[in-house]
Structure formats: structure tokens, C-alpha cells
Amino acid sequence: MANRIEDCGRLDDLTRFAQECARAENLGDLQGTIDAAVRELGFRWFTLLHNVDLRRGGGQRLFLTTYPSAWLEEVLEERHYIEDPIHAACARTPSGLAWDRVGDVLELSSRQQSIMKRARDHDLAAGYSLPIRTPGEPEAIFTVARPRDEPLDAAEILTARLLGSVAYDRARELLGEEMRTLAVVSLSPRQVECIALVAQGKSDWEIAQILGLSRDTVHEYVESARRRYGVRRRTQLVLRAVRDGHLNMDALL
């Protein structure tokens, strides 16, 4: 009976959270709402962000967090995000995972083990991370964390998943057209043709021969697309084109 009462109370808390998120008028309001909820439900910190290069900045990228500022500075300065074990593990699960289960889906490198230890040193000892994937949009991740180094129980995990889903839905509404502008980069048919051949390992000269274009024209098609995406390498360009639906996964085979 006590458990049933507790479950009803938690459901009431989540219902109230959804209502308060709906009333948030901007991302600042939403961050405050999420912060209050995660504290009330037994966590200490949260992040809700697009899984993109944080160094690039940009107002259209979603980045809400209450993580300790010292940890955020270390993540950026030491470039922990490149080998972030939580994000790497989330890429291998459809529905998120608790941090104590990361080793079940990912063989941690010594660098990744060090990152996990450094996070604990900043009191980020236990948590849950939820990947949020929407076709044609950048992947997002919602995370809750606490300093107490104890595994999350089933109720806490379900709570975290519901918090993340509700919070992201409202953030997406608040970003509106800006998110869609960020998410999908338009490419010309010729650019798509060139990128598909890049994915097959063709050089600019080979692509030019296949498409009946000059090498310089092919180079400009590809480099223009790369600049539009803001990536440095052509492999990154291919992956972004697949993500946005310009190419299917067969282009990578």
C-alpha cells in the first residue's frame, strides 16, 4: 500500500512537471523548471543538449545544464567530449542507460575510464542518460546525475526517461523553426551526387570522370557542402548527409 501511495505521488509530480514545462515561455524558464524537478525527484544536476560540437556555439543549439562549472570547463579544455564514454554508450542503446551499465555496452578505453573518474571527482557519481532521436534533426541527450554513488533503481530510471522526454518536447517547441533550420542543410542534386561518390572513396578526379564535370567543379561542389555543414573532413560531410536524409546508409558500404 505504501509503495502504491508513493507511486501515485511521483506520478503527480511528473504531471505537474509537464504542466510547468508547458508554461515555460523560453529556454531559461525551462531550465529552471527542469532544475527544480530533478532536485525534487532525488537528483542534483541535469543536462539537455544537442549532441554537436559545443565549441562552435550558436544560439540555435540546445544546451541547458546545471552541471558544475568547473567540470564544464574541464570538459571543454581537455576535450573530454571527443571520447565521452556516456555519449559513446548511448549511441549503442535505443533507450538510454544508467552510468553503472556503461561497461555492459562499451569496452572503455583508459582515456574513457579516466573521464569517468574525473566526473566522479566533480561529484557526478551516478546518473542516467537518455538519447533522443528525431529523424532529420540533431540527436539530443538528456542526463540526470547525483553525487551519491549508488545505482539508480527502476523507478528512478523510469522517472528520468519521462523527465527527459517531456523536457525535450517543450525545448523543441520553444526552438521551433530555429531547430529545423539547424537540423537540415539543403544540398543541390549535384552536391548529393558528388558526396555519394565521396562516400565510395572516389577522388575529385574520378568523380569528375563519372559525372562528366571538371575536377575543379567537383571540388567546389564538395567543399561548398562541407563549408555549409561547418565540418572539417569529408568523412564528417558524408555522415551529416546521411543524417539529414540526403544519402541512405548504402552510401557508406
Predicted confidence (pLDDT) per residue in 101-136, tens digit:
999 998 999 999 999 999 999 999 999 999 998 877
Cell output for 121: 571527482
Return the higher-pLDDT residue of 137 and 211. 211
- Distances in Å between the Cα of 237 and the Cα atoms of 186, 214, 228 are 13, 21, 10
**Residue-averaged pLDDT of the chain:** 85
Cα four-point dihedral sign 206, 207, 210, 216: negative
Mean per-residue pLDDT, 85-96: 87
From the list 171, 172, 170, the residue with the least C-alpha distance to 19 is 170
Is pLDDT of 221 > 90? yes
Kindly report, residue by residue over 170-209, the tens digit of the pLDDT: 999 998 755 544 456 788 899 999 998 988 889 999 999 9
β-bridge mates for residue 127, sequence order: 145
CA–CA separation, 31 and 39 (whole Å): 12
Residue 227 half-sphere exposure toward CB, CA atoms < 13 A:
6
Kindly report, residue by residue over 146-159, the tens digit of the pLDDT: 999 999 999 999 99
Kindly report, residue by residue over 10-22, the tens digit of the pLDDT: 778 889 999 999 9
Kindly report, residue by residue over 32-85, the tens digit of the pLDDT: 999 999 999 889 999 998 875 444 444 456 889 999 989 988 887 787 877 889
CA–CA separation, 62 and 210 (whole Å): 41
Cell output for 177: 523553426
The answer to which of 1-15, 18-32, 104-118, 214-228 has the lowest mean pLDDT is: 1-15
Return all residues near 33 (Cβ < 8 A) that are at least 6 apart.
17, 20, 21, 24
Specify burial of residue 7 (Cβ count, 10 A radius: 0-12, 13-18, 19+): exposed
Of the pLDDT bands very low, low, confident and very high (cuts 50, 70, 90), residue 168 is very high
What confidence score (pLDDT) does residue 252 get? 54
Residue labelled with grid coordinates 545544464: 65
